[in-house]
Amino acid sequence: MIKDTVTEDLLLRKPTFIAFLFATVLVCFLIFDPSQSLIGHLLEPALGDPDTSGLYGRFVTSFMLAVLMVLNLLAISLIPNFRLQVICVWIELLILFLSFFYSFDLSFEFIRSKIWFMVTQGIFTTLYVSAISIVIASFIAIIGAVAKMSSNGFAYAIASFYTSFFRGLPLLMQVYLIYLGFPQIGYVIDAVPAGIIALSLCYGAYMTEIFRAGIMSIDAGQWEGSRALGFKFSLIMRKIILPQSIPLIIPPTGNQFIAMLKDSSLVSVIGVWELMFLARTLGNKTFNHMEMLITAAMLYWMMTMVLELIQSRIERKYQKRQSR
């Protein structure tokens, strides 16, 4: 996006907007009744027991919260540096989420005792299943994309049937079908290969479309220039078209990889010991479900953050190369 050189006034500098914001926040808090919250308990000396302070207590705590929130927003809007502002908002949101989890009264002792196993077994399995699958899916996608653009009826029919089928079925169902279906034709398949096959086939179907769009977006002049030199199809594809479409393909492929990392949790249903499977099973014995689920959630989040970082690095590298 190209920014305009003229900017509008900040909304938070307009008194009417601040008043509107304050009123909205106040109403929300009144509806949710914060008098039993941490703030309500802090106000106990002034208002008395939150259980008995009634509507008055409810209004005063809501009012206090609304004032705090609007002041906080105004304070953040005064930070002149964009980066600093972003970091502040991030930290505040993170604290809000963490305090939400904290309110579950989790047993950190339990988390500490299991987390090493979750990382070594769970994250490791999740990552290698996803990584192998995305590589296979990319190969499928190149072949699928070429077949879908082909004038050969068989190639087009097979490719379009494939993308239609695997995009049309829920991934969970594909996992079951492959794991339980192969034994029906006399071939018993292990859980991990079954999971990898399901993820590869499903994501290969989505990525076929990504690769096709990437290839189609290359100017027709590149094909004509190559053909005029006497290049054959496979040479044009390998040396001229694909190298130019890869910068276009990488951002959506990165997205697919991040999505796959999380969808790999679906293979837990066939007993692959990846992160989600461990999250469901480790806490079972001692009823520490929440602990394990939240730990797994945090681990998934951290993995995707690392991947996003890597993705933006790669994108920047290609942008640099283009602007040389």
Among 67, 68, 235, 302, binds another protein (CB under 8 A): 235
Least distance to another protein, CB of residue 235, Å: 6
Smallest distance from the beta carbon of 216 to another protein, in angstroms? Answer: 17
SS3 57: helix
Residues 161-220 that bind another protein (CB under 8 A): 219
Residue environment code for 57-70, b if the CB has 16+ CB neighbours within 10 A, otherwise e = bbebbbebbbeebb
Residue 25: both structure tokens together: 């926040």
Gap between the Cα atoms of 76 and 86, Å rounded: 9
The Cα angle at residue 200 between residues 176 and 241, in degrees rounded to 5? 155
Task: Mark the segment that binds another protein (CB under 8 A) among 110-118, 202-210, 233-241, 288-296.
Answer: 233-241
| Region binding another protein by CB under 8 A among candidate stretches 63-71, 237-245, 271-279, 293-301 | 237-245
CA distances from 287 to 110, 226, 271 (A): 11, 65, 20
CB of 241 to another protein, least distance (A): 10
Q: Which of 221, 287, 313, 320 binds another protein (CB under 8 A)?
A: 221
Q: Does 320 bind another protein (CB under 8 A)?
A: no
If one asks whether residue 324 binds another protein (CB under 8 A), the answer comes out as yes
Distance CA 52, CA 304 (A): 46
Residue 245: closest CA among 133, 137, 141:
141
Report the residue number, 51 or 224, with the smaller CB distance to another protein: 224
Cβ–Cβ < 8 Å for 261, 199: no
Alpha-carbon gap, residue 167 to 173, rounded angstroms: 12
Pairwise CA distance, residues 238 & 234, whole Å: 6
Q: Which of residues 251-310 bind another protein (CB under 8 A)?
A: none
Q: CA–CA separation, 209 vs 215, rounded Å?
A: 10
Q: Which residue in the set 3, 83, 232, 285 belongs to the binding site for another protein (CB under 8 A)?
A: 232
Please select the residue that binds another protein; options are 227, 289, 316, 317, rule is CB under 8 A: 227
Which of 72-80, 179-187, 232-240, 284-292 is the region at the interface with another protein (rule: CB under 8 A)? 232-240
Q: Which is nearer to another protein, 104 or 233 (CB)?
A: 233
Asked if 121 and 273 count as a contact pair (C-beta separation under 8 A), the reply is: yes
Total residues contacting another protein by CB under 8 A comes to 20
Best CA proximity match to 221, nearest among 247, 249, 241: 241
Q: Is 190 helix (H, G, I), strand (E, B) or coil?
A: coil
Please pick, from the candidates 70, 127, 231, 252, the single residue that binds another protein as defined by CB under 8 A: 231
- For residue 252, give the DSSP letter: H
Question: Which of 120-128, 221-229, 251-259, 306-314 is the region at the interface with another protein (rule: CB under 8 A)?
Answer: 221-229
Q: Minimal distance in Å, beta carbon 321 to another protein?
A: 8
Q: Which stretch binds another protein (CB under 8 A): 81-89, 118-126, 178-186, 238-246?
A: 238-246
Binding site for another protein (CB under 8 A): 219, 221-222, 224-232, 235, 239-240, 243-244, 321-322, 324
